[in-house]
């Protein structure tokens, strides 16, 4: 590895790219507003904070934690930022024979009182940390919790209803498949509400069913997926010592693919079905959850004994035995189990990335990188790939493996050929461009005035501001993967999401115009050569309005940029030489 500080003729679009710190700043979720809420309102409201996978769809395994983060953010908002949420009561219930309507007509909505509360005029009592609601004083935190509960519950109902109305047969089959999987894997044991103590009842958490259409990275419809999710935001996180669960770094994935391309390795991808449900809770880890009457009635079709356990309102109480999606400890339990399984088979964890494992047999290496339950495997030896497939099938209930030449991994479309590996996110880009009036073409993602911030810029209104934030986040996801050319522009705009102006919007539109012009561009990781990364670091002196310079860094391997960074320097330098020294200092951390 070498650092080349010479004046290489690299374009500014490629060389100036965002730091991890800037990315974190960009990904703070905005206030979630739900005029006509469904599950996508919750998830897309924080889409800046999640990994968007499979043609812009959000992977449940990651979105669950993000939903909890959004809920916690709602609890922490200042009263001036809070808005009265009054879910739209006009719901189209005209369609007779709906599976959901048959059940919902029989039950009392446990969230109706929340909607009544939210329709009241709230008078804050700042000195007491409470407010007047319905003529009585209530804790702000309890009120905020109820606001969140109302949003989640209402979103859940509309999500299921919309899915049923769009395709009742497919939706029911998807939900029944999810519930059947849970029953077969012995995820819980049913308990009677009358046998629970007051302490246990206070700790009870809810559950929700999410449905979404899944697409491959090439934009093709894959399946309608249902997922039963626990309301982990109701759990006490202080009971657990460590809840952190890492995911593989994108630069690691790119390096694995680059090495595979150079050496001509075989590539396989594996998805472990119902991964979290493979993990058991500790005996002293008690989590009690409710199943609403609608899902309980569906569940009774699989397990008739459910009917005897439902309470007077039709609600079912269960004690979890397995790591259901949404529980705060589930991700860590799954990570630990997968690591244990790989290490037992002779794989060794990489000291720099905790989600990268290697195994060497007779001088041939097999590499495994994983993002939650999605595994990327490369090796020159087909038998080693077959061995890990057999090992995973032995340890887990079900897996899906693709050993072909075309793969979809982390929203990237991947094709393995005789001359290397090609990567693209064409379907993702087309999804981002939908509904936009692009206008004329653009041959570059930005112009020379990118870093200029006019003082007389016209601020965007609230709706446009939120859309600007969302668009920048989507492009940042793209730029850090296959389209490093736009990273300089997106990095700068990411610092403008809090106070965007019409000038910033014009610059964002320029990026979209460039993507429209180059939509079919692919990354070609070339076969042959040496596994010797080249690192280029440079600086643009004094380009920002406050006199700050900008650092850019690229790591090249297999003929492509496998890692790109761009950041505004934290101090004002006196010369271009000093700016390059600062850039070198900033870049060495990522390079090493």
Query: 128 and 13, same structural domain?
Result: no
Query: 543 and 433, same structural domain?
Result: yes
Looking at the predicted structure, is the pLDDT value of residue 83 above 50? no
Bridge partners, 230 (sequence order): 207
Q: 302: pLDDT confidence band, cut at 50, 70 and 90?
A: very high
Query: 571 and 446, same structural domain?
Result: yes
Query: 315 and 431, same structural domain?
Result: no
Query: 103 and 10, same structural domain?
Result: no
Residue 150, domain extent: 52-234+282-320
Query: 576 and 448, same structural domain?
Result: yes
Q: Which residues contact 433 (CB under 8 A, 6 or more apart)?
A: 512, 515, 516, 519
Predicted confidence at residue 465, as pLDDT, reads: 94
Query: 464 and 316, same structural domain?
Result: no
Q: 187: pLDDT confidence band, cut at 50, 70 and 90?
A: very high
Predicted confidence at residue 413, as pLDDT, reads: 92
Is 95 contained in some domain?
Answer: yes
- Average pLDDT rounded to a whole number, residues 420-448: 91
Is 329 contained in some domain?
Answer: no
Predicted confidence at residue 7, as pLDDT, reads: 38
Looking at the predicted structure, is the pLDDT value of residue 78 above 50? no
- Average pLDDT rounded to a whole number, residues 226-252: 88
Query: 100 and 193, same structural domain?
Result: yes
CB 419 within 8 A of CB 302: no
Query: 76 and 7, same structural domain?
Result: no
Least confident among 74-88, 247-261, 295-309: 74-88
Q: In terms of pLDDT, which residue wins out, 164 or 345? A: 345
CB 367 within 8 A of CB 357: yes
Domain boundary among 263, 292, 320: 320
Tokens of 342: 């790989």
Span 500-529, pLDDT tens digits? 999 999 999 999 999 999 999 999 999 998
Q: How many structural domains compose the chain?
A: 2
Is 216 contained in some domain?
Answer: yes
Q: 208: pLDDT confidence band, cut at 50, 70 and 90?
A: confident
Is 464 contained in some domain?
Answer: yes
CB 83 within 8 A of CB 125: no
Looking at the predicted structure, is the pLDDT value of residue 123 above 50? no
Q: In terms of pLDDT, which residue wins out, 299 or 222? A: 299
Query: 172 and 105, same structural domain?
Result: yes
- Average pLDDT rounded to a whole number, residues 388-407: 94
Q: 118: pLDDT confidence band, cut at 50, 70 and 90?
A: very low
Predicted confidence at residue 272, as pLDDT, reads: 94
- Dihedrals phi, psi of 431, to nearest 5 degrees: -65, -40
Is 313 contained in some domain?
Answer: yes
Domain boundary among 320, 345, 373: 320
Is 97 contained in some domain?
Answer: yes
Q: Write the DSSP string, 107-175.
A: S--TTHHHHHHHTSPPEEEGGGTEEEETTEEEEHHHHHHHHHHHHHHHHHHHHHHHHHHH-HHHHHHHH
Query: 8 and 71, same structural domain?
Result: no
Query: 14 and 67, same structural domain?
Result: no
Tokens of 209: 């069913």
Is 99 contained in some domain?
Answer: yes
Q: How far apart are CA 144 and CA 122, in angstroms?
A: 12
Is 277 contained in some domain?
Answer: no
């Amino acid at each position: 590895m070498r650092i080349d500080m010479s004046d290489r003729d690299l374009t500014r679009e490629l060389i100036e790219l965002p730091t991890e710190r800037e990315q974190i700043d960009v990904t703070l979720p905005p206030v979630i507003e739900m005029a006509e809420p469904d599950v996508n309102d919750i998830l897309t409201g924080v889409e800046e904070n999640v990994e968007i996978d499979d043609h812009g769809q959000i992977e449940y395994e990651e979105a669950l934690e993000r939903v909890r983060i959004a809920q916690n953010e709602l609890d922490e908002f200042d009263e001036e930022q809070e808005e009265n949420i009054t879910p739209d009561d006009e719901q189209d219930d005209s369609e007779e024979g709906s599976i959901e309507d048959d059940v919902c007509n029989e039950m009392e909505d446990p969230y109706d009182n929340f909607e009544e509360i939210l329709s009241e005029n709230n008078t804050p009592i700042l000195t007491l940390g409470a407010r007047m609601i319905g003529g009585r004083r209530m804790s702000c935190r309890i009120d905020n919790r109820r606001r969140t509960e109302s949003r989640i519950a209402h979103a859940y109902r509309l999500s299921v209803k919309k899915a049923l109305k769009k395709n009742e047969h497919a939706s029911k089959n998807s939900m029944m498949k999810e519930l059947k999987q849970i029953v077969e894997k012995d995820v819980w044991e049913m308990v009677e509400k009358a046998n629970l103590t007051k302490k246990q009842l206070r700790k009870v958490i809810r559950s929700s069913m999410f449905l979404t259409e899944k697409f491959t990275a090439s934009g093709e419809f894959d399946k309608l997926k249902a997922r039963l999710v626990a309301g982990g935001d109701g759990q006490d996180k202080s009971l657990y010592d460590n809840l952190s669960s890492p995911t593989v770094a994108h630069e690691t994935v790119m390096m694995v693919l680059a090495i595979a391309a150079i050496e001509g390795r075989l590539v396989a991808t594996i998805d472990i079905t119902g991964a979290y449900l493979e993990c058991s809770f500790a005996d002293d880890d008690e989590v009690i959850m409710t199943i609403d009457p609608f899902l309980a009635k569906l569940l009774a079709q699989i397990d008739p004994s459910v009917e005897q356990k439902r309470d007077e309102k039709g609600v079912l109480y269960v004690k979890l035995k397995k790591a259901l999606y949404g529980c705060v400890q589930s991700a860590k339990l799954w990570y630990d189990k997968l690591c244990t399984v790989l290490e037992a088979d002779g794989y060794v964890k990489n000291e720099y990335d905790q989600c990268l494992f290697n195994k060497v047999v007779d001088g041939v290496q097999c590499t495994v990188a994983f993002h939650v339950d999605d595994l990327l495997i490369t090796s020159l030896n087909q038998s080693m790939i077959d061995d890990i497939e057999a090992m995973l099938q032995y340890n887990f209930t079900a897996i899906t493996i693709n050993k072909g030449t075309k793969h979809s991994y982390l929203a990237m479309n991947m094709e393995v050929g005789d001359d290397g590996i090609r990567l693209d996110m064409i379907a993702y880009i087309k999804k981002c461009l939908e509904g936009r009036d692009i206008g004329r073409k653009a041959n570059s993602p930005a112009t020379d005035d990118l870093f200029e911030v006019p003082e007389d810029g016209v601020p965007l209104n609230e709706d446009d501001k939120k859309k600007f934030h969302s668009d920048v986040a989507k492009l940042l996801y793209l730029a850090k993967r296959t389209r490093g050319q736009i990273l300089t522009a997106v990095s700068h705009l990411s610092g403008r999401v809090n106070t965007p102006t019409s000038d910033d919007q014009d610059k964002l539109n320029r990026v979209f115009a460039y993507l429209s012009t180059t939509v079919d561009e692919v990354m070609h990781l070339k076969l042959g050569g040496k596994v010797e990364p080249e690192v280029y670091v440079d600086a643009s002196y004094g380009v920002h309005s406050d006199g700050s310079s900008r650092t850019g860094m690229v790591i090249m391997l297999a003929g492509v940029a496998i890692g790109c960074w761009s950041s505004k320097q934290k101090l004002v330098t006196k010369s271009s030489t000093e700016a390059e020294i600062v850039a070198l200092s900033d870049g060495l951390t990522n390079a090493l």
